[in-house]
């Protein structure tokens, strides 16, 4: 006799994916497409650390100006907050995928992130290093 959807051997039903607790991810506070570059710049100028991680990702994914997006991410790669720093580095990987190019300073920032004291930053830098390896053909120091 076959199993029903949602059951595994042993007969216990599995919880649907959409109701599982996703402890390792934090949902964004708003739709990233609604975040304007002006809002992101204001948050950076006012150092609104609670908003910056989401806004960085929004800029990296949706800002149409390559120059503005790269400058925004690079301006935040040395931020004191690990979540801001990590997302700024991750944003560089997104930009490599979207635009097929990055300045040399981005490679240095990603490499530095790979040996950051914070695990979160190292993880984001590892993702960015994978992106630049795949989309740009770059092999970065400290990347595996």
User: How many domains are there within the chain?
Assistant: 1
Closest CA to 116 of 141, 93, 82: 82
Asked, for residue 88, whether it belongs to a domain, the answer is yes
The answer to the question of residue 4 being in a domain is no
In this structure, is residue 110 part of a structural domain? Answer: yes
In terms of residue numbers, what domain contains 102? 30-136
pLDDT in the model for residue 21 = 32
Entry field: residues in the chain: 144
Q: Does 99 reside within a domain?
A: yes
CATH, residue 110: 1.25.10.10
**Tens of pLDDT along 18-43?**
333 333 334 445 555 556 899 999 99
- Comparison of pLDDT for 116 and 27, the residue scoring more: 116
How far does CA 139 lie from the centroid of its chain? 19
User: pLDDT for 118-144, tens place per residue?
Assistant: 999 999 999 999 999 999 999 988 765
Hunting for tokens 């990590």 — which residue is that? Answer: 86
CA-nearest of 86, 74, 72 to 41 is 72
């Amino acid at each position: 006799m076959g199993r029903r959807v949602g059951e595994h051997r042993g007969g216990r039903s599995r919880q649907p994916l959409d109701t599982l607790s996703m402890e390792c991810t934090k949902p964004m506070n708003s739709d990233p497409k609604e975040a304007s570059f002006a809002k992101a710049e204001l948050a950076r100028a006012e150092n609104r650390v609670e908003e910056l991680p989401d806004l960085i990702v929004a800029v990296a994914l949706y800002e149409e100006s390559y120059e503005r997006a790269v400058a925004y991410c690079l301006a935040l790669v040395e931020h004191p907050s690990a979540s801001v720093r990590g997302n700024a580095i991750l944003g560089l990987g997104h930009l490599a995928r979207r635009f097929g190019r990055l300045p040399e300073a981005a490679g240095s920032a990603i490499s530095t992130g790979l040996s950051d004291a914070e695990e979160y930053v190292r993880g984001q830098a590892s993702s960015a290093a994978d992106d630049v390896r795949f989309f740009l053909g770059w092999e970065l120091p400290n990347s595996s």
